[in-house]
Each structure stands twice: as C-alpha cells, then as structure tokens.
Amino acid sequence: MKLPRSLFARTALTLALAFVVFQAAAFWVVYRTLIVPVAERSADDLAGLIVLSAQTWVELPPPTRAAFERELARRHGLRLTAQGVAATADAPHFAFRAQIEAALGRRINDDVVLHGVPGTRAVWLDIPLGGHDLHVGFFPDRYAVKPPLAAIAVISLGALLSLLTAVFLVRRLTVPLGRAAAAARQVGAGELPEPLPETGPAELAELARRFNTMAAEVRALLDNRTTLLAGISHDLRTPMTRLQLNLEMLRDDPSPARINRAVGDLAEMNKLITGYLELARTTQAEPKARFDLAGLLEETASDAGIAWSGAAPCMVVAGRLAVRQIVSNLVQNAQRYGGGTPVELVLACADDVVRVIVRDSGAGIPNDELEKVFRPFYRLETSRSQATGGTGLGLAIVRQLAETNGLKVLLHNRPHGGLEAVLEIRR
C-alpha cells in the first residue's frame, strides 16, 4: 500500500492508528478486569434469584403460587411455571451466556443448558425440584450488555476525534510551512517574497523570522553581485582602453613613458580586482578568537603611520582578521577624505560593549548620505578617478565584514567638523 505523502494525511493516519491500538488495548483491560467480573457477579445473582424463586414456589401453598408467579414476573422479569413451554430449540447466543449457565450449574449441582422457544426472545431452563419439573424463563436483553457494540462505538468516536485533532494541529503546521515553501521557491527564482508572518508558536515564529532574514540577505547578495559585476565592467573598461591605446602606440613609437603608463594601468586594474575579491570574501564569517584589541590597534596605527597614544589591554572575542581589516579601512578612509587632518584612533573598553573610534577633522558627510556611503561603488564626489575617490568599495567591505561577523559600524558627523566612525564589539 502506498503511504500518503502529505504531512496532514500521514499525521492523521498515525494518530488514528495509534488511537485505535490504544483504545483496543484499553478496552481489553477494562473487559478483563471490569466487565467480565461484573458479568460473573450478575450471572451468579441471577442464578441465585432463579433457584431461590423455584424453592419458594415449591414451599408455597398451591393457591398462592399463581400470585407469586405474577409478582415474580412483574418485579424481576422471570417466568416460573410447572406447565410445559415447548422450549426445545437451542437458546440464541447472547453475551455472557456461558457465565449464566455456569452459575446456574453451580447452584443446582447439575449441568444446565439454556433453551429457547421459536418466535420468542425468552430463554428457558428446567429445574427439577421438590417433585416438580419447573420451567424458568428470563429475557437476556434485561441482563446482558453489548461489549462489541460499545467497543466499536468508542473506537470509532476516538478515531474521529483523532482525525479532528490532526486537522487542527497539522493545519497549524502545514499552513506556515506551505507559505515558507512557496517563499523558498521565490527566493530560488531570484525574487524577493513578501515577509512571512512572524506569528504562531515560538518555533514557527522563529522559523519565519529566520527565513525573512535569510531572504533579505539572499536578495542583498544578489544585488551586490549585480552591482559588483556592473562595477567591474565599468571600472575596468577605462584602464583597459588606455592600456590598449598605449600598446597600439608602442608599435610606432616605443618609449619608456608609454611603457610606464601601461604598467600603471595594469597596477590600477590589479587594485580594482583586489578590491572586488575582498568584497566577495566578506560573505564568509571568520572563526572567533580571544585577543587583545589594544595590541591590534597598535599594529594598525603603526602600519597606517598615525599617532597612537596606547591603551590598557582589552580582551575581546571576535574575528581578529575581520576587526583588523575593518579598522584599517576606516583609517584609510579617514586619511583619504579627512582633508589631510590628523586621524585620531581611540579605544573605549567597557564591560558590555567595546568601541573603536576613528576620527578626522575633514568636511564630514551630509547626514542624508551617512548610510549611502556603505553601498558598493558609491562615492560622494562625481569623479570616478582612482586618484580622487578610490574604488568605492572600502566602506562597503567594512559594512559587510561587520554584519557577517556580528559587529556593528556607525558613522557620525562631529559637532565641530569632521567624521567619526565607530566599530562596536559586544562582549
């Protein structure tokens, strides 16, 4: 048999089967420990009533026996007579017949076989007592229970309730999962789906939140890839054109100056490609390690040629290479756009968060462009020249490295002029 593939069908089937097995086991336990003992006790009480009634009938005066028979029929549903009733057929099968026959056999010390009269529902037995052949009849429906029907009803009701429970529970799972699957297909096709509702049970809400974050990151990666390819195409075209022109002119007029310009163009192209590779590598998080941030800043300041007043040891847990590259890029950005003013490097080591601050006294950045400068290839000046504006990737690398490694970078304009870049590392 082929199993259903949907989560709802499988869960409903599993719950229904588990409930049926549980109900069957529970019914067997109840049957053996409750129903059978009660039935045996009831059969013994019925047998005692029949035998006692027959003994009483024998002991009564003949004129009062008819009244006793009527009272016995009215109160207990028993038929007691000394007349023949033509009960020759085997009694119909009913629940706990064996227990009743056994109880009657114990009472009269003889084997008892119940008989029936065709066309009636009464069951009869013969009791020879006091020189009389008495015939006692009773209706099994008055004393018997119907355990098979009860079991079927209970199991059917349980299966129905389990299916309804499966509908309720699985729907709460399948609807959000179905939305997530549809959104995943959109992400796979390069589209940005609508954010999933971050509601419901904690696990599903967390799944939706993580998926929304992943979808936004995938979209950002696709945008960065498109921007990166466009930037490569645009920025490499100019030096390649100059290099081709110089090579063509070298055919007719070889000169050291033209060779130097060609070498410069190659160096510029290598610089551009290096920047693109650095940006591409920022999508991988660096393993965290414990290191002294003050020592790292001392190395960075020495490499950049800026003054560093030193600081007390400050231990942090982060990606060391990522932190160094972020600080180096911020320092280079301050040196390039600070208008030749001194670059200040400060370490603020607190218990909850550590801040590395890079300050310059240049012109700063318009407030409405403080976030835009983190975009790849975004430059404040209109020139695309490497001499005036670099590749436009420095701050993009800083932001992406920070986000990938769980860090935070902010830019602020200083009250008295200049820019302040802050790297935050939470402890």
Name the token pair of 63.
């004129």
Note the pLDDT of residue 409: 95
Contact assessment for residue 411 and residue 352, using Cβ atoms and an 8 Å cutoff: no
385 falls in which pLDDT band (50, 70, 90)?
Answer: very low
When pLDDT is averaged across residues 344-364 and rounded to a whole number, the result is 93
Task: State mean pLDDT over 125-133.
Answer: 82
pLDDT of residue 164: 79
Residue 24 half-sphere exposure toward CB, CA atoms < 13 A: 7
Under the banding of pLDDT at 50, 70 and 90, the label for residue 386 is very low
Q: Mention every residue, 6+ apart, whose C-beta is less than 8 A from residue 139.
A: 77, 121, 122, 123
Instruction: Note the pTM of the prediction, 2 decimals.
Output: 0.48
Is the predicted pLDDT of residue 389 greater than 60, yes or no? Answer: no
Task: For residue 5, report the phi and psi dihedrals to the nearest 5 degrees.
Answer: -95, -25
Domains of the chain, first to last: 7-148 (3.30.450.300), 202-281 (1.10.287), 285-426 (3.30.565.10)
**Is the model more confident about 328 or about 242?**
328
Is the model's pLDDT at 355 over the cut of 90? yes
22-45 pLDDT, tens per residue? 877 877 887 788 778 887 888 888
User: To the nearest whole percent, how much of the chain has pLDDT over 70?
Assistant: 85
146: left (phi over 0), alpha (psi -120 to 50) or beta: beta
User: 397 pLDDT band (50/70/90 cuts)?
Assistant: confident
pLDDT at residue 391 is higher than 70: no
**Kind of pairing between the strands at 419-426 and 353-359:** antiparallel
pLDDT at residue 383 greater than cutoff 50: no
pLDDT of 148 reads 59
Identify the band that residue 116 occupies on the pLDDT scale cut at 50, 70 and 90. Answer: confident
What is the per-residue pLDDT for 278?
A: 65
pLDDT of residue 348: 94
CB 256, CB 208: distance < 8 Å: no
Lowest mean pLDDT among 230-239, 249-258, 285-294, 364-373: 230-239
Q: Which two tokens stand for residue 401?
A: 């490295």
Using CA atoms, how far apart are residues 80 and 122, in angstroms rounded to an integer?
12
Band (382; pLDDT cuts 50, 70, 90): very low
Q: What is the 3-state secondary structure (H, E, C) of the chain?
A: CCCCCCHHHHHHHHHHHHHHHHHHHHHHHHHHHHHHHHHHHHHHHHHHHHHHHHHHHHHCCHHHHHHHHHHHHHHHCCEEECCCCCCCEECCCCCCHHHHHHHHHHHHCCCCCCEECCCCCCEEEEEEECCEEEEEEECHHHHCCCHHHHHHHHHHHHHHHHHHHHHHHHHHHHHHHHHHHHHHHHHHCCCCCCCCCCCCCHHHHHHHHHHHHHHHHHHHHHHHHHHHHHHHHHHHHHHHHHHHHHHHHHHHCCCHHHHHHHHHHHHHHHHHHHHHHHHHHCCCCCCCEEEEHHHHHHHHHHHHCCCCCCCCCCEEEECHHHHHHHHHHHHHHHHHHCCCCCCEEEEEECCCEEEEEEECCCCCCCHHHCCHHHCCCCCCCCCCCHHHHCCCCHHHHHHHHHHHCCCEEEEEECCCCCEEEEEEEEC
**Average pLDDT, stretch 402-427?**
92
**Digit-coded pLDDT (tens) for 266-317:** 877 777 677 666 656 666 778 899 999 999 999 999 988 898 888 999 999 9
Instruction: Inform me whether the pLDDT recorded for 358 exceeds 90.
Output: yes
Distance CA 66, CA 79 (A): 11
Instruction: Note the pLDDT of residue 317.
Output: 95
Give the separation between CA 239 and CA 261, rounded to whole angstroms: 10
CA distances from 39 to 31, 121, 154, 308 (A): 10, 20, 20, 97
Q: What is the mean pLDDT of the chain?
A: 81
User: Mind listing the pLDDT tens digit for each residue in 45-63?
Assistant: 888 888 888 889 888 898 9
